[in-house]
Chain A
Amino acid sequence: GAVVSQHPSRVICKSGTSVKIECRSLDFQATTMFWYRQFPKQSLMLMATSNEGSKATYEQGVEKDKFLINHASLTLSTLTVTSAHPEDSSFYICSARGDRASSPLHFGNGTRLTVT
């Protein structure tokens, strides 16, 4: 089946630094990728939707200058948490789908970010 690879699975960084998370579709062309954030014991909160070659669409309340999303190719999207602070510590999950209306959504394994 289709696989989405998300890297790294865990990252610890110091406050003020930036962290990049990669999301790759390994065997299909991901026309659209979604980035989610999940707090402990809570649901997935959609942060932004990215389409290959265009700017990401951010959900209300998500700072686009803090969470930079790049979808430069049909197989790769990146989320960069800039100037990270402890409150950015969370579990981030990417997902990807093809271009058909019926295309299913495939999830990465998530990245646990801890900002110290």
Chain B
Amino acid sequence: AQTVTQSQPEMSVQEAETVTLSCTYDTSESDYYLFWYKQPPSRQMILVIRQEAYKQQNATENRFSVNFQKAAKSFSLKISDSQLGDAAMYFCAYRATSGTYKYIFGTGTRLKVLA
């Protein structure tokens, strides 16, 4: 069975600085999707970034980028120029490319942004 692990329950970053959130996963599949979701206090789940496993190039979305290491099964999220609005819970998620397409979420990392 697939698993997703986030080893950092909480992280802090100074405003305008850079922070990296860690995520590892386990799967026997060769093709899959990986995601980072943000959940602010409103509890609305917001997609931050997505990576397809067959693509070697790391995905980027403005200030957000990932470091995808397929062999190591690692998928970290880098947030550059951190803003106060980035404060939230961040969840890493895995999804297969076939079957029910269900998402497996990690336990989350709470990010605090210090002014």
Which one of B21-29, B56-64, B73-81, B103-111 contacts A? B103-111
B108's nearest neighbour on chain A, judged by CB, is A43
A57's nearest neighbour on chain B, judged by CB, is B100
> Which of chain A's residues have a CB closer than 8 A to the CB of B44?
107, 109-110
CB distance from B95 to the nearest CB of A (A): 8
Pair B101/A101 contact, Cβ less than 8 Å: yes
Neighbour of B91 across the interface among A32, A43, A103, A104, CB < 8 A: A43
Pair A43/B102 contact, Cβ less than 8 Å: no
Pair B105/A110 contact, Cβ less than 8 Å: no
Taken residue by residue from 85 to 116, chain A's Cβ proximity to chain B (1 for < 8 Å, 0 otherwise) reads as 00000010101010001011101011000000
Known: A32-B100, A32-B101, A101-B97. A43 touches B43 (CB 8 A): no
Bound complex: CA of A8 vs CA of B104, how far in Å? Answer: 25
Pair A42/B45 contact, Cβ less than 8 Å: no
Q: For the side of the interface on A, what is the size category?
A: 20 to 34
> Which of chain A's residues have a CB closer than 8 A to the CB of B101?
32, 97, 101, 103
Pair A42/B43 contact, Cβ less than 8 Å: no
Bound complex: CA of A95 vs CA of B95, how far in Å? Answer: 14
Pair B105/A44 contact, Cβ less than 8 Å: yes
> Which of chain B's residues have a CB closer than 8 A to the CB of A95?
45, 103
Taken residue by residue from 4 to 35, chain A's Cβ proximity to chain B (1 for < 8 Å, 0 otherwise) reads as 00000000000000000000000000001010
> Which of chain A's residues have a CB closer than 8 A to the CB of B114?
none
Q: At the interface, yes or no: A49 with Cβ under 8 Å from chain B?
A: yes
| B residues at A contact (CB < 8 Å) | 42-45, 47, 50, 91, 95, 97-98, 100-108, 110
Given A34-B103, A95-B45, A107-B44; 12 other pairs, CB 8 A cutoff:
A38-B43, A41-B110, A43-B91, A44-B45, A44-B91, A49-B100, A49-B102, A97-B101, A101-B97, A105-B95, A109-B43, A110-B44
